[in-house]
Amino acid sequence: MNFDIKKYPILSLANSVKNLRCLSIKKLPQLCFELRKYLLDVIFFTEGHCASGLGVVEITVALHYVYNTPFDNLLWDIGHQSYPHKILTGRAKNMDSIRKKNGLHPFPFRRESQYDPFGMGHSSTSISAGLGLSIAAQKEGKNRKTICVIGDGAITAGMSFEAMNHAGEIKSDLLVILNDNNMSISKNVGALNKHLKVLKNVKCNDTLKNSFFENLSFQYLGPCDGHDIFNLIHFLKDIKNKKGTYLFHIITKKGKGYLPAELNPIKWHTFSKKTSSSANNIPTYSEVFGSWLCEIAHIDKKLIGITPAMCEGSGMSNFSRLFPNQYFDVAIAEQHAVTFAAGLAAAGYHPVVSIYSTFLQRSYDQIIHDVALQKLSVLFAIDRGGIVANDGPTHQGVFDLAYLRCIPNLVIMTPSNENECKQMLYTAYMYKKGPTVVRYPKGKGIGEPLMPMHMIPLGKSVLKRLGNKIAILNFGTLLKYAMSVANNLNATLVDMRFVKPLDKKMIIKLSSQCQFLVTIEEGIVSGGAGSSVNEFIMLKKILVPVLNIGLPDAFISQGSLKEIRHSYELDAEGIEKKIFSWVSSY
């Protein structure tokens, strides 16, 4: 479906930024109205990020109206704010494909458009990248400008502070626009957020002193109404003619122009038709985690739940309300979250860090240096492990098993259903000899009843089916496909459950009984769970062929979960085809 942009007369005229700059300034309010309406049409059809884009319509129009993009560098942080930017930069007619297979990327993407000078899917990278671009522009000597729009709580992350600290010292030609809407995905928290509230009460002027930003040698401008297109253009034209490091503070409303999103920006951060209907009562893995967390908190006052600004997404809403003294939202600060948890564990508390797989990458050194090296009992509840579908390569949780497996003192568990997830969370929580990981996917379980909590024997797998010749070793929630394949091929099937420690006795037993071993995981094959089986077999000089099935050495683009699994042969049909072809070649 291609949206009929002709329904929007001003927006259809502004089908390129060159044409946009030819519009009379008096027509820009109408352009903003049409752009917001078109954006809503797109989101209601495609699903995806909603409230953030609605809040930046005026600043998007103003920036492209004033600055000479794409010659001037314009960066969007966090990237889910960039839908209006995509519409105005020649991608309007393809917006129906956003977040879909072979369609537009959900975030700024260098290979998609010359208007995207830097890819941005994770938060808080814009000032660092923008500073690099501004230094390059300075060396180029062509008066190229660099603008970073940072919003939705992204400025709370340590990387933003590091970049501002550096930028304030070297004083390059850089404009940072702080889109202050008092929101991340959840409500903003922290001391900086309180400081911004103080600044909001100051009359808009050019020379406010003693702000946090002024003390970092940024020239502070604002605060300014981020929905007043005329005032925005006035300020931006003035800044454009100046040299130096500026921070322009604008106040916006997340979800602006669509009342449900304005009233509930958390719910409308992302619009999904699936979440608006309740087809069944099967809980998501995030909900299973949240329910388990509350269950434990009732009996253990030393439990501390920690999230880096993902309360709702991680299923911690009820926990945060019922146990406010045991709950900490540390804002978008994954590194801090991990070391904060380490400090609590060192003091005898029982921290649980709930974090998405793709965001845990940002705290890798802290996991190694601050937690594992000291054998501190921190439980990492890793959400969104595996394919995360429509959010594309920046959000696919496919590297965690590979990057965690090599860390000493770490126990790693991969549940195959929601009840097993609950029992593994309990087992990990009760383990006090070091850090633990329970890695589970996005979305609903399979309908497995949730049983009372009990301990799972460490490193113990479960035989699911006894067959001939082929033994399938499954890690995680692809078990349902593995069972179908095992039935068709009359193969032995084992739910391994633990990536670390491995059930070595089971591997030795299967190697003596079967001619072929096959490992299955929804993660990168290189260094993943299957690789641990390979290493053990080689170490023991066991002469049995092993096939590792998982994801290839590539970044996984967007698409539906079903499409991606089919493309990479991780559904039942693909797994069976791979095994049959491999075995037949012997």
Q: What residues are annotated to the active site?
A: 254, 334, 362
Cα-Cα-Cα-Cα torsion 412, 416, 417, 423, nearest 10 degrees, comes to: -40
Question: And the tokens for 463?
Answer: 């035989």
Residues 6+ apart with CB under 8 A from 180: 151, 196, 200, 223, 226, 249, 250, 251, 252
- For the sheet containing 327-329, what is the strand order? 327-329, 303-307, 350-356, 379-383, 436-439, 411-413, 498-500
Question: And the tokens for 447?
Answer: 């309908």
Q: Could you give the angle at which helices 126-140 and 158-170 cross, rounded to 10 degrees?
A: 30
What number of other Cβ atoms are within 10 A of residue 369's Cβ?
13
Question: And the tokens for 132?
Answer: 């690099």
In whole angstroms, give the CA distance from residue 46 to residue 83. 12
DSSP code, position 26: G
Is the Cβ–Cβ distance between 84 and 258 less than 8 Å?
no
Phi, psi of 33 (to 5 degrees): -60, -45
In whole angstroms, give the CA distance from residue 133 to residue 130. 5
Is the Cβ–Cβ distance between 405 and 412 less than 8 Å?
yes
Q: Could you give the angle at which helices 504-513 and 529-539 cross, rounded to 10 degrees?
A: 70
- What is the Cβ-side half-sphere exposure of residue 333, based on CA atoms within 13 angstroms? 21
**78 burial type by CB count under 10 A (0-12 exposed, 13-18 middle, 19+ buried):** buried
Is the Cβ–Cβ distance between 185 and 310 less than 8 Å?
yes
CA gyration radius, the chain: 26
